[in-house]
């Protein structure tokens, strides 16, 4: 798989010798191109924590090749390293003089600068054109995945998770074909499975998470609970429990973990932290950083006192479900008690 090889090559290079002076990523798989850039940025800034680093983001529809070379060739007065990312590089019209100038820079780059050129949507055929010919030797292709199976397997592998073939087939039916959307769903799924000791996703895990459909699962329930929508929350719970009577145990475990994250946010000074730092503090990793803003909004809707009351109710229901506390209440009745506690 070409993308897997490219990501592995980038990672190996970063670990052994650090970032290269120039990268050129192209192809239709925009999400994976962005992932490759993120990999370099993370390694770049981690390696230069003790020293200041210049970072510049340029857009192809706003700059020329001359502008890019000028920025890349200049020394920074206040930092040792410079990272430049040029998005939509394919939007730049490159004349013969600029072709030679770019070719010269690629052959003789400023070693304190890392320049990343992003050719979203470009194909192998495009690289035969004079405008891009000088980039062929450093080019890394990110073609569209042939099926969601490829992307799901690769993305999970990078997160040190495995998935059975049955689970892969079931999850693929649920998520569609867009890599960015699939990654979002994977990160939500791993929030649900965080407590699992073995990092193996099975079909039973997918069934519990997905529920009946995208409209009736644990994540849809979470969203409606945060909107304080009692009627829709109740409808979702009924649909989930009709499909799986044991789903209440998983629901309590997930909501306990969810509200613990909100409680941690309430105890931290989030305004003084960037998203990455806050994500680590509350137990979100990798692509789950995407949810930080949403979690902060959720936390603002609850007082510490209210969250503690919800925890008390979750603990009470957990003891009843496990038979530690005697109860004749059915799971759906316990679920309605929990929803009422959260929403009201």
pLDDT of residue 284: 80
Calpha distance 301→135 (Å, rounded): 51
pLDDT of residue 49: 58
Show the tokens assigned to 43: 């390694």
Calpha distance 235→191 (Å, rounded): 23
Report yes or no: 141 and 2 within 8 Å, Cβ to Cβ: yes
Report yes or no: 143 and 3 within 8 Å, Cβ to Cβ: yes
pLDDT of residue 52: 57
To 10 degrees, the CA torsion angle through 207, 209, 212, 216? 170
pLDDT of residue 324: 84
To 10 degrees, the CA torsion angle through 127, 4, 118, 288? 160
> CB 20: neighbour CB atoms within 10 A?
15
Task: Please report the domains of the chain, with CATH numbers, ordered by start residue.
Answer: 2-141 (3.40.50.300), 211-343 (1.20.272.10)
What pTM does this model have? Answer: 0.70
User: What are the residue ranges in the chain where pLDDT is below 50?
Assistant: none
């Amino acid at each position: 798989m070409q993308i897997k090889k490219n990501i592995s090559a980038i990672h190996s290079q970063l670990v052994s010798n650090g970032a290269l002076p120039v990268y050129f990523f192209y192809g239709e798989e925009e999400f994976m191109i962005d992932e490759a850039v993120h990999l370099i940025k993370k390694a770049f800034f981690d390696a230069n924590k003790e020293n200041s680093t210049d970072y510049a983001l340029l857009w192809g529809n706003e700059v020329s090749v001359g502008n890019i070379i000028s920025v890349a060739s200049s020394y920074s007065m206040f930092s040792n390293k410079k990272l430049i990312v040029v998005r939509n590089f394919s939007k730049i019209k490159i004349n013969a003089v600029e072709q030679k100038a770019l070719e010269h820079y690629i052959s003789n780059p400023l070693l304190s600068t890392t320049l990343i050129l992003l050719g979203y949507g470009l194909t192998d055929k495009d690289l035969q054109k004079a405008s891009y010919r000088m980039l062929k030797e450093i080019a890394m292709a990110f073609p569209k995945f042939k099926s969601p199976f490829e992307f799901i397997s690769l993305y999970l592998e990078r997160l040190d998770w495995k998935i059975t073939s049955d689970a892969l087939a079931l999850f693929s039916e649920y998520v569609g074909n867009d890599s960015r959307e699939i990654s979002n769903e994977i990160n939500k799924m791993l929030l649900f499975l965080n407590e699992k000791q073995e990092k193996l996703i099975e079909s039973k895990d997918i069934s519990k998470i997905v529920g009946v459909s995208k409209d009736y699962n644990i994540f849809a329930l979470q969203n409606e609970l945060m909107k304080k929508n009692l009627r829709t929350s109740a409808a979702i719970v009924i649909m989930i429990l009709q499909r799986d009577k044991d789903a209440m145990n998983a629901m309590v475990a997930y909501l306990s973990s969810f509200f613990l994250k909100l409680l941690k946010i309430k105890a931290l000074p989030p305004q003084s932290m960037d998203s990455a730092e806050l994500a680590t503090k509350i137990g979100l990793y990798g692509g789950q950083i995407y949810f930080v803003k949403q979690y902060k909004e959720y936390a603002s809707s609850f007082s510490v006192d209210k969250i503690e009351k919800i925890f008390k109710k979750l603990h009470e229901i957990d003891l009843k479900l496990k038979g530690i506390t005697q109860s004749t209440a059915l799971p759906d009745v316990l679920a309605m008690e929990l929803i009422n506690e959260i929403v009201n």
